C-alpha cells in the first residue's frame, strides 16, 4: 500500500454566516469572519489517495492524472469564486474549512475509486497556520 498526494491551490471569497441565526449570533460566533462584504483566502488543498503500486508503471496512478481530476472536479468550480453564492456542490452549506473539506471529499471519492485507488485524506489550509483534515468517516 502506497499513499500519494497532490497539492493544488485556489483563491476564493466566503463569509461565515448562518441564515438560521440572528445577526448578533452570527457576529458572536463568527466574529469578523461574518463580514457581510466578504473576505477571502488562498486555499491550499492536499488530496491523498492510497492503493497498490502497478508493477508495470511504478505508479499508483500518475500524479498528472490526479492533478487533472482535482482541477476538473474542484479547482475549476471554486477558483476565484464565492463559496456562499457560486459553488454548486456546497449549495446551502456554511463554507467553513471543515465543511469545504468534507464536500470536496464527496466530489472526489467516486472518481478516485473508478481509477483503481482509494481516497485517503482531504487536507485544506485556510491560512498558513490553520488547516483541517478529513478521512471520510
Q: Can 126 be counted among the known catalytic residues?
A: yes
Name which of residues 73 to 132 contact a copy of itself (CB under 8 A).
79-82, 85-86, 93-99, 101-102, 127-132
DSSP of 71-123: IIIIIHHHTTEETTTT-GGGTTS---HHHHHHHHHHHHHHHHHHTT-EEEEEE
Name which of residues 18 to 77 contact a copy of itself (CB under 8 A).
18, 20-21, 29-33, 35, 37-42, 48, 53, 56-60, 62-64
Q: Can 8 be counted among the known catalytic residues?
A: no
Q: Catalytic: which of 8, 33, 109, 121?
A: 33
| C-alpha–C-alpha distance, residues 103 and 99, integer Å | 6
CB of 133 to a copy of itself, least distance (A): 4
Amino acid at each position: 500500500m502506497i499513499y500519494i498526494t497532490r497539492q493544488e491551490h485556489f483563491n476564493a471569497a466566503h463569509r461565515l454566516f448562518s441564515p438560521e441565526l440572528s445577526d448578533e449570533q452570527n457576529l458572536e460566533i463568527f466574529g469578523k469572519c461574518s463580514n457581510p462584504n466578504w473576505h477571502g483566502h488562498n486555499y491550499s488543498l492536499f488530496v491523498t489517495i492510497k492503493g497498490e503500486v502497478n508493477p508495470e508503471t511504478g505508479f499508483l496512478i500518475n500524479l498528472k492524472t490526479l492533478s487533472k481530476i482535482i482541477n476538473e472536479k474542484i479547482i475549476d468550480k471554486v477558483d476565484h469564486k464565492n463559496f456562499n453564492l457560486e459553488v454548486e456542490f456546497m449549495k446551502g452549506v456554511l463554507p467553513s474549512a471543515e465543511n469545504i473539506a468534507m464536500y470536496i471529499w464527496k466530489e472526489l471519492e467516486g472518481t478516485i475509486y473508478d481509477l483503481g485507488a482509494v481516497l485517503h485524506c482531504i487536507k485544506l489550509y485556510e491560512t498558513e497556520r490553520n488547516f483541517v483534515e478529513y478521512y471520510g468517516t
